[in-house]
Chain A
Amino acid sequence: MNPDILSPILARWKSAARSGLLPAFIDAQAEFGWLTRETIAEVARGLNVPLADAYGVADFYAHLYTTPMGKTKIRVCDDAICFLAGSEKICAALETKLQIRVGETTADGAISLERVPCLGQCDRAPVAMVNESVFENLDAQNISALFDPIEAHNSQATVGAGPILLKNISALNYSTLDSYLAIDGYAALDKALEQLSPAQIIAKIKASGLVGRGGAAFPTGIKWELAAKSIANFAGASVIASTFASLSVNSAKQSPSDMGIASSQKPLLAMTDPLDWRSSPGYVVCNADESETGTFKDRVLIERNPFAVIEALTICAYAIGARYGYIYLRGEYPRACERLQNALNEARARNFLGEKIRGTNFSFEIELRRGAGAYVCGEETALFESLEGKRGEPRAKPPFPTDHGLFGKPTVINNVETLANIPFIVLNGASAYRKFGTEKSPGTRVVCVSGAVEKPGVYEIEMGAPLKKLLFETCGGLRANRKLQTILIGGAAGVFLTPQEIDVALDFQSLNAIGATFGSGAIMVFDDTANLWGVVYRLARFFKDESCGKCFPCQLGTQRQFEVIARMARGQARADDPVRLRELGAVMRDASLCGLGQTAASAIISAFDKKLV
């Protein structure tokens, strides 16, 4: 190991203390291919993290390697849609070409081959990634394309025009600030800063009826209001706390990550340094860890219009009184990462971010962070843990993030799509927003359709639009005039629908009425040729692989569920297996700590209920 390589990395993340652990590991691994014992120890020392903790963190994330790996990592997606598009053949062709098995590294130590969960490119399956490059529409006959860098990124997702979020997407030069300004970008922030009080903004969001698009459908305005209240309370309390801390010489229990504060003799005023992550009284976080099987709309929203999310986060910070924010982006989205980083830089350079934004007294900074291969980090409290440099293990709720979120402070965490709605609402008002959709489900929904349709892609539909119309008009119906077998709506944590159920309207209430959920907005379409046992097997495997292992029902239940499903898929079902599956499903749904475990049996049980398998 060369310390000259590591020291600039440590210098970059030192001020983040323990919360810099994951990005420092990611940077170090990009240099060395994997994380050696010496590298982890060096990073741990540099960021003041106990050695065992640092190792435990590295060992948690699928994309951090503590054993030798090739510098070139080939990741082949093998989830539902890619599986049906032939991912197994891709793996087999690669095994032959590289003379290794999946999970191994070539003899010269250069290339490692892995089978991975959904890469969020399902409209162009099958897909693989080679390091930071995405290769779509792979062909097992032409596997050498994977080794040709020019072939990467060769296609764009099909994106239908929509009324709000996808309105200007075709007009955009993707990601420059000027192109964003040309379509009224940042008009909402200017309006907010010049004409609206924080309370008025929150009132607008509440009146719009916007609810979270990440899956839980919590009212966004109420979330902001709760956080704004806690920040107001917390700010008062923290002044008292910091005064006491500065008075006592032997200040009480300080966690290692707080040592930076404890040891520095900063005057109290420095605590209000606007761009210091520690001093912000609360946080805004964009959850861009889209990892739900069959979901890729957040990726497309970011790639096409990164500024919308940045503007929305800035408005949110102004509304709740936060001065620091994070975007936690899925590790598998290199292009989105690049565009977000560029957009942040441009916004900063032109004073849409940073100190005294647009000449006001409002200062705000956003930091972009990348995940490292953990579906569970899409769960909001696991995401906080991950940002804090810990294993992505969800916390028990309550307390909720609006009271006790990132770094223990009041936090608003919103999904990408939720945030992308904010500029429109602030600019045009709640009633303009409510013109779209239904009374109880106002607005639009961005859905990602994949599988057996003619035109898979990302579409913005009004809430309440019929599923049938989406499939047979917007998406052009089934490929090769095949017959519909089933639809999986909401991702791996969703529910299967039968052909008889596709008359359902796509809004929260109508879906709830038939026991389904919008979830992440994923709609996976399977025709009558699809091997549904293969799909169900992959769902079970996905949850087993992605369980964090914290709570017993999920840690043990996802494993046992996988074992039962694997047996049944092989045609070796036992008499009591159906009963066992129900028991496992019930305990995971009822007793798991977080949403991952609570929904780990949902799609599988629905497949049995509807006699699809």
Chain B
Amino acid sequence: MNDITLTIDNQTLTVPPGTTILQAARQIKKEIPTICYHEHFTAPSLCRMCVVEVEKSRVLVAACSRECENGMVVKTDSPRVQQSRKTILEMLNSAVDLSAAPEIQNYMRTYGANPRAYADGKKRALPLHDDNPFYLRDYSKCILCWRCVQACGEDVQWTFAIYRGGRGFDARIATFFDVAIPQSTCVYCGNCVQACPTGALKSKREFWFENGRDLRELARESRIAKKKR
């Protein structure tokens, strides 16, 4: 197959077939913002942060998954693109706790997103799950990027302990009937924790360090707790 020639932000470039718009843009040092996209995972194209304007396309297209085509004319930062990104960020910020997601907060500044937009809208304030010795699940910080599900399933680990539950605004990451992690098929590989971009999944050790706890003190506490039991 022949190489593909396209135009991105008025620059013409040639890429091998199968190159996505996101990869092509990187070649000419144009950084397109992404949230759900992870280099090693199947692009789920769901956060829509990476949308760009493609000439003759009715709607914006996701740069992370759309492959370049000959003669494509792409605008990565048009006003329409910027407006979409800004509103996505405002909606996300109004629904989810982004305090542990510095990258998304940076995007908020870049796109001038109003942190108080939709401030009284429904929130996904979900309880923190502290049900296993290795990691915490704070789903009020979960943006539903699916990375943990991909890491647990077909993209990395093939364990299938978690999947998506619910739908619409109330979609969520769930184990089988929301059982605690020790009752699930989880093997504690940690891949989901590493893939999480917003701190919704966090190793307990990291959580304790962040909260100024001393490991030796924690160990002592846990020994005392064990004796009491």
Contact = CB atoms under 8 A, between A and B. Distances in A.
Interface of A: 37, 40-41, 50-56, 59-60, 66, 255, 374, 391, 393, 396, 398, 544-553, 555-560, 563, 580, 583-584, 586-587, 589-593, 598
A50 B184 CA distance: 11
Interface of A is mostly: helix
Contacts of B30: none
B48 A553 contact: yes
Given A59-B166, A547-B167, A553-B48, A587 B160 contact: no
A37 to B, nearest CB: 5
Interface string B98-137: 0000000000000000000110011000000000000000
A326 B174 CA distance: 31
A555 B96 CA distance: 13
Interface of B: 43-49, 51, 59-60, 62, 65-67, 80, 83-84, 87-88, 91-92, 94-95, 117-118, 121-122, 143-144, 153-154, 160-171, 174-177, 184-185
Given A52-B185, A583-B83, A587-B83, A553 B88 contact: yes
For A40, A374, A552, the residue with the greatest tally of chain B CB atoms inside 10 Å of its CB is A552
A550 B95 contact: no
Contact of A37 (B66, B94, B177): B177
A590 B51 contact: yes
Nearest to B90: A583
A555 B169 contact: yes
Contact of A563 (B121, B143, B168, B174): B121
B185 A50 contact: yes
A559 B121 contact: yes
B174 A560 contact: no
A549 B169 contact: yes
Given A60-B166, A559-B168, 17 more contacts: A37-B176, A52-B175, A53-B163, A54-B176, A255-B154, A396-B43, A545-B168, A550-B46, A553-B48, A553-B84, A553-B87, A555-B169, A556-B88, A556-B94, A558-B169, A559-B169, A587-B87
Contact of A586 (B87, B95, B143, B170): B87
B165 A55 contact: yes
A563 B122 CA distance: 8
A584 to B, nearest CB: 7
A551 B167 contact: no
Contacts of A547: 167-169
Contacts of B66: 396, 398
Nearest to B170: A549
A53 B159 CA distance: 11
Contact of A556 (B49, B92, B154, B167): B92
A55 B185 CA distance: 13
Contacts of B49: 552
Contacts of B94: 556, 560
5 contacts: A255-B154, A552-B48, A552-B144, A580-B118, A590-B51
Interface of B is mostly: loop
A593 B168 CA distance: 13
Contacts of A557: 87, 91
Nearest to A50: B160
Contacts of A552: 46-49, 88, 91-92, 143-144
A66 B170 CA distance: 15
B59 to A, nearest CB: 6
A393 B62 CA distance: 16
B124 to A, nearest CB: 10
A391 B165 CA distance: 9
Contact of A52 (B44, B65, B154, B162): B162
Contacts of B163: 50, 52-53, 55-56
B83 A586 contact: yes
Nearest to A551: B46
Nearest to A51: B176
B59 A598 contact: yes
A64 to B, nearest CB: 12
Contact of B167 (A41, A398, A549, A598): A549
Contacts of B91: 552-553, 556-557, 560, 584, 587
A591 B166 contact: no
B30 to A, nearest CB: 19
A563 to B, nearest CB: 5
A590 B185 contact: no
Contacts of B87: 553, 557, 583-584, 586-587
By Cβ-Cβ distance, the 5 closest A-B pairs, closest first, are A549-B171, A50-B160, A56-B163, A556-B91, A559-B169
A52 B62 CA distance: 29
A559 B171 CA distance: 12
Nearest to B50: A591
Given A52-B185, A55-B174, A590-B80, A560 B118 contact: yes
Nearest to A256: B160
Nearest to A584: B87
A448 to B, nearest CB: 26
A508 to B, nearest CB: 15
Contacts of A598: 59
Given A52-B161, A552-B47, A598-B59, A558 B92 contact: no
